[in-house]
Amino acid sequence: MQNTCGEFGVSLWNANTPTYFNDIAFADDYTREDLADYAYNSNLTGNIILEGGYGSGKSTIAQIIATERLADSLSLFEINGEVWSDDTLTVIENTYAWATANGNIAVVIINEVDRLKDKQFKLRDFLDKHAQRLLVIMKTNHLANIDGSIVDRSDVYYVRGFTPQKAVGIAQHVLQRHGYTFADDDLEKLFTRRLVGDEEELSLRQIGRIVDKLSMQNAPTPPKRGGSLRLIK
């Protein structure tokens, strides 16, 4: 038996992946406003750290900030902290040189920067050398594992998860866009049931899985307005 999600035969949630900064879901407006400065001002430089739980949207934020700023993908370098090697700084230097030659400010994205461990000091020296000359976006789930000297050189932004109330608005945006109508109260109860232990916030991945299950369970005919919600068991 073939399973499908929604009307596209694919993940309804993934089909609505943000492509522009304005499309990104944030749990609070002040974080959106602060990070929008980096997306819309291509001359803004510095070091920023995006801290937050798994699935809070840090990767999407970093990638969209870069694409909003850069028309030339060769001015962007992205790496995971655990694969940082002796050649990495050379590649970043080349990216910086290319960007400068083409009138861009290079963007460097370092995923899971805390996994650099003892190599963090090489990163610190690099940040000092290129201060105010490029934008470095670092991401982590564990800010305490980043050396204090790097944190001090960076602006830290906490990317929060989503309360069940906030999750309702995000889910409704996707569901209603494709003709599905559910009561806010029913969705909020559903999201609340997904909290475990003393958790108070949901990740975007958790919200997405619920959206996909709802669209799959109610396909191929979207529910009519006022229809009852088929709860996920």
Query: pLDDT tens for residues 176-228?
Result: 999 999 999 999 999 999 998 888 999 999 999 999 999 988 876 545 555 55
List, for residues 23-65, the tens digit of each pLDDT value. 999 999 999 999 999 999 999 999 999 999 999 999 999 999 9
- The pTM of this model reads 0.86
CATH of domain 26-159: 3.40.50.300
Axis crossing angle, helix 204-217 with helix 184-193, rounded to the nearest 10:
120
Q: Give the per-residue pLDDT at 229.
A: 58
Residue 72 structure tokens:
């030339």
Q: Residue 5: which pLDDT band, with cuts at 50, 70 and 90?
A: very low
The C-alpha atoms of residue 153 and residue 168 are separated, in whole angstroms, by: 37
Residue spans per domain, the chain: 1-16+162-233, 26-159
Q: Is residue 127 predicted with pLDDT exceeding 90?
A: yes
- State whether residue 37 is helix, strand or coil: helix
